[in-house]
């Protein structure tokens, strides 16, 4: 069994005071035999040296990432450090982090680091919790596919690091005192656990009825739908995508055998009418157009929490919704925070943490009930233990 404990501070200027606040909330004497931590925080907590100093005081390893905003039962803010501690007598945890990843080394580095960490466990991991870096030359979908291959389909859940000001070159991942904007951190969990994964992107009413089929693609590049360029296909639906304008329209991708669509962003339109997308666009997959609205965001959050509560699992609730959701709720950005907090009665129903994601990593079940690791955008995701 896993127990979850949370701690929180907004004290970024006085490192010693912030550490004292975190340690008081954890109560180290209450920990079980095996413990691990995962953290989300404002970048200042990393740059100030707080994270490195805190890791020296903790009797367990932590992984973490910078984020747009964080919350748990102690508070919510964009200027916060939130720590989640998982502790157990019968479940084992092993942490690891790669060196800086790039297009040349990511596969070998990921395989070496994962294999070394997995080799310290008495058997195969039951779950991997992970924070990905934001790297232009190796996007999240590529790292996701590589890790899925290396771990042979072990379910993994987590996020790409994000940041408060939208500058992804400052998004940061850390493992104890090691900080790396291009590193990938992971927690391998081994033991009898039964995680539940919740993924909700858009309400059905916000998904177009037309379904096009991918007829030409290359990984995350979508060239053709129904035999014409992707750009022209969207124009037939009345959606004009231009090179010089931001794209906030999700593509809903129905992977073969999947029971629910995956929401993916269009990052850029190319001169040939193709799109660079947030995830893989396999030939044969069906595509629909989605619409993001504040009402739809809160509807899916409510739906996600309701699904979670129906599982009757109460030991831990880990939530990583997309940063776009926070931004699209303006001027009421905290509405999703507040809804989650109210639904779990500020931790009385279950301990919880919330961080905002630059790309969501969450398995979903196919039509046969088998978990498949997937990468998402615009999505509310949860891992429940």
Which 3-state string (H, E, C) describes 157-211? EEEECCCCCCCHHHCCEEECCEEECCCCEEEEEECCCCCEEEEECCCHHHECCCC
Domain count, the chain: 2
Asked if residue 279 and residue 153 are part of one domain, the reply reads no
Per-residue pLDDT at 372: 93
Q: Which domain holds residue 245?
A: 208-289
Per-residue pLDDT at 259: 72
Asked if residue 356 and residue 328 are part of one domain, the reply reads yes
Asked if residue 186 and residue 56 are part of one domain, the reply reads yes
Per-residue pLDDT at 44: 96
Asked if residue 320 and residue 279 are part of one domain, the reply reads no
Mean pLDDT (10-residue bins), the chain, 385 residues: 96 95 94 98 96 97 97 97 98 98 97 98 97 92 96 97 83 96 97 94 94 95 96 92 75 87 91 92 95 96 95 94 94 96 94 96 90 95 96
Per-residue pLDDT at 240: 86
Asked if residue 364 and residue 331 are part of one domain, the reply reads yes
- The residues near 328 (Cβ < 8 Å, ≥ 6 apart) are 248, 292, 293, 294, 297
Last residue of a domain, one of 269, 289, 309: 289
Asked if residue 13 and residue 133 are part of one domain, the reply reads yes
Asked if residue 134 and residue 264 are part of one domain, the reply reads no
Per-residue pLDDT at 307: 94
Asked if residue 213 and residue 128 are part of one domain, the reply reads no
């Amino acid at each position: 069994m896993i127990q979850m404990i949370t701690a929180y501070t907004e004290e970024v200027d006085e490192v010693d005071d912030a550490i004292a606040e975190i340690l008081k909330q954890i109560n180290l004497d209450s920990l079980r035999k095996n413990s691990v931590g995962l953290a989300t925080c404002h970048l200042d907590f990393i740059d100030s040296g707080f994270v490195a100093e805190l890791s020296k005081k903790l009797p367990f390893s932590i992984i973490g990432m910078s984020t747009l905003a964080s919350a748990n039962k102690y508070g919510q803010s964009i200027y916060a450090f939130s720590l989640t501690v998982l502790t157990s007598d019968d479940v084992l945890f092993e942490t690891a982090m790669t060196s800086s990843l790039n297009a040349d080394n990511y596969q070998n580095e990921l395989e070496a680091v994962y294999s070394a960490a997995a080799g310290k466990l008495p058997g195969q991991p039951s779950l991997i919790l992970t924070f990905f870096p934001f790297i232009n030359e190796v996007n999240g979908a590529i790292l996701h596919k590589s890790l899925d291959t290396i771990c042979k389909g072990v379910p993994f859940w987590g996020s790409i690091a994000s940041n408060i000001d939208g500058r992804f070159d400052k998004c940061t991942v850390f493992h104890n005192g090691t900080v790396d904007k291009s590193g990938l951190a992971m927690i391998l969990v081994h033991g009898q656990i039964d995680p539940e994964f919740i993924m909700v992107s858009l309400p059905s009413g916000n998904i177009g009825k037309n379904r096009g089929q991918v007829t030409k693609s290359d990984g995350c590049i979508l060239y053709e739908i129904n035999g014409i360029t992707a750009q022209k296909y969207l124009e037939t639906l009345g959606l004009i995508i231009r090179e010089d304008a931001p794209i906030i329209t999700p593509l809903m991708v129905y992977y073969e055998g999947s029971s629910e669509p995956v929401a993916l962003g269009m990052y850029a339109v190319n001169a040939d009418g193709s799109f660079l997308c947030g995830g893989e666009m396999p030939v044969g997959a069906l595509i629909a157009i989605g619409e993001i609205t504040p009402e739809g965001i809160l509807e899916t959050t409510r739906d996600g929490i309701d699904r979670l509560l129906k599982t009757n699992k109460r030991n831990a609730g880990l939530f990583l919704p997309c940063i776009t959701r926070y931004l699209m709720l303006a001027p009421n950005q905290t509405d999703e925070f507040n809804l989650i907090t109210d639904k779990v009665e500020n931790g009385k129903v279950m301990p919880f943490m919330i961080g905002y994601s630059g790309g969501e990593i969450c398995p979903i079940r196919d039509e046969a009930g088998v978990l498949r690791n997937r990468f998402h955008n615009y999505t509310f995701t949860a891992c429940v233990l």
